[in-house]
Each structure stands twice: as structure tokens, then as C-alpha cells.
Structure 1
């Protein structure tokens, strides 16, 4: 009976220790994942608005504003990377921010202009993901 109790206690202690190790190893990844999730969500919402031909400022401005705010957080969240890659990352972040400003400028000019600006932003995202994923 003692052996069974010791075994159960050992398994519980081991599993709790394993959970703590996992939490320690994954700590700090939540914010970068949240930033990418927010970018993806709002880019998707803009894509849906464009597909639905609903590109009025009332429909898209909030998404573009949120993209701009989240894009401003990319550098503080992901840098420093090290290995002399910080400058390349900053270039990608700057390209993304410029493309979001292009989307802001395209607001109110119709879905075609917004779609072109969104495509540029999407390409900026893909370029960074290609180099840093």
C-alpha cells in the first residue's frame, strides 16, 4: 500500500513539475502570438470587407487603426533578435507600417484602392515571415 501511495505522490509531483517546466519554457511567447493573431484577424476582416464591397470608412477605419497600433508594437515585442538581424527586422516593420498608412490613405476611395494597399501590407507580412519564421 505504501508503494502505491508513494507512486501516486511521485506521479503527481512529477506532473506538477512538468507543468511548471513547460510554463517556464513557454513564458514570454504569449505577447508575440497575440500581436500576430491581432494582425491576422484585422487583415482578415479587411479582406472580408473588400470581398463584400463594403469599404466605407465606417466599415474599415477601426480595423486599419487597430492594425496601425498593433504594428507599432511589433518592434518592442520582437526585438532584439540578435545575430545582426535587428536591422532587417526593422526594415520589414517599417514596410508594414508604411503599407498600413497606404491603407489609411485609401480609405474612402473605394474597394479597389483599398485592396491594392492591403495586398502591399500582406506582402510586407509575408516578407517578414519568410525571413524570420
Structure 2
């Protein structure tokens, strides 16, 4: 009887350890993290290009705009009503639109700094 109880406890503890190990190795939030990495790279290259001659920034700014359009589905997958996050996302989209509309390199560099500040505002509350 004692051996049977030990086997039962051993199976239970083994099952708990296996479940905890599976939870630790499961990739979490890979899509939002990947999205933020791509946005960070696109913003960084756009800022570096804006410091020079601004040629080729249209595609980077378009990419930023497309990714910013998908912020809510990526970060609020259940459709939660998160007004603060939506306000940050709207602010980011507005700053990207301003950067896209800026024709001169100094104006675009300033607008891209505003985009980075909009990112930092959201990261301050949600990181």
C-alpha cells in the first residue's frame, strides 16, 4: 500500500513538473515582440536616412504606418476596451502620418523624433 501511495505521489509531482516546464518553454507574445522589433528597425533606419538625404524613406514610413494600423489586433487580441492603449496607438499613427507628409529632410527628422517619443510614451506605461 505504501508503495502504491509513493507511485501516486511521484506521478502527481512529475505531472506538475512537466506542466511547469511546458509553460516555461512555450513562446509567449512572439507576434507583438516581432512587430515591435520590426518597427524599431524601420524607425532607426528611417532616422538614419533622414539625417542624410531622405531618399528611400517612403517605404520605411509606409511599413511603419502599416504596422501601426495593426497595433490593436496584435496587443489586444481579445478586443478588450483599453482606451489608454488606443490613445497611444492613435498618437503614434498621427506622428507617422506627419513624418510621411514631411517633404524636407530636417522636417522629416523632427517628425521621426516625434514618432520615437510617441513610442516611448507608450513603452513607459506598457513595458
With structure 1 as the length reference, what TM-score do the two structures score? 0.74
Cα deviation digits, residues 43-62 of structure 1 (max 9, x gap): 000111022x1203xx1011
Residue 110 (structure 2) aligned to one of 110, 116, 123: 116
1:34 aligns with 34
Note the residue ranges of structure 1 that are not aligned, 5 or more in a row: 1-12
1:95 aligns with 91
With structure 2 as the length reference, what TM-score do the two structures score? 0.77
* Secondary structure, counterpart of 2:97 in structure 1: helix
Q: State the superposition RMSD in angstroms.
A: 2.3
Q: Which has the larger radius of gyration?
A: 2
Deviating beyond 3 angstroms after TM superposition, the runs of 4 or more aligned structure 1 residues are: none
2:65 aligns with 68
Give me the whole-angstrom Cα distance separating, in 2, the residues matched to 1:125 and 1:81: 21
Count of equivalent residues:
111
Give me the whole-angstrom Cα distance separating, in 2, the residues matched to 1:89 and 1:101: 18
Q: Report if aligned partners of 2:50, 2:57 keep a CA contact under 8 Å in 1.
A: no
**Residue 122 (structure 2) pairs with residue 132 (structure 1):** no
